[in-house]
Amino acid sequence: MAAGNTYEAIATASGTGSSATISFTSIPSTYTDLVIAGSYSATAGAGFDVTLNNVTTNSSYSLTRITFTASAVSSFRSTSQNAFALNYNGSIASTPEYSTVLIDLMNYANTTTYKTMLVKFGNTTTDLGPIVGLWRGSTGSATEAINRVDLQAAGGANWTTGTTFSLYGIKAA
């Protein structure tokens, strides 16, 4: 990030224990990038999915993941998916442990490029690592701006009370 950029809080959403989805909607296009910071747990240990602009059916998501544990390093690649599936080992800790995540969505408002996502994740008992994702828009070859982000706990789990995700915009100086 270049010197002079600042984070501006846009929204914060919290888990209730009875919902699997946290959504950020009507995201303004006035920033250069978006950042989502989360401290989270779920009612069952599982992964979670990130979808953009409520697009869940067109296979336009792909990602590469590297996972570091106490005893091994592994990698995984998935293409033509219906969401960014952040289901790395133990990606959601069950209560009472919380996992952390930092999601960067670069050039989210640009309408001439596909959207890149960088994810840093970790928790104290299983693993940590980076994920790089690419979204090819609502048609699989579109370059529209991102105006909505959904975070969906997987495996029938719900976000627990105490889970918090905050959305920030990076404003260039």
Residue type, 86: L
The listed CATH number (1.20.120, 2.60.120, 2.60.40, 1.10.3470) that belongs to domain 6-171 = 2.60.120
Strands (E) across the chain are located at: 6-14, 21-24, 33-40, 48-52, 61-68, 73-81, 84-86, 99-106, 115-122, 128-135, 149-153, 164-171
pLDDT tens profile 121-163: 876 666 677 889 999 999 989 999 999 999 998 888 899 898 9
Q: In the chain, where are the structural domains located? A: 6-171
Residue 142: exposure state from Cβ atoms within 10 A (0-12, 13-18, ≥19): middle
Is the pTM higher than 0.85? The answer reads yes
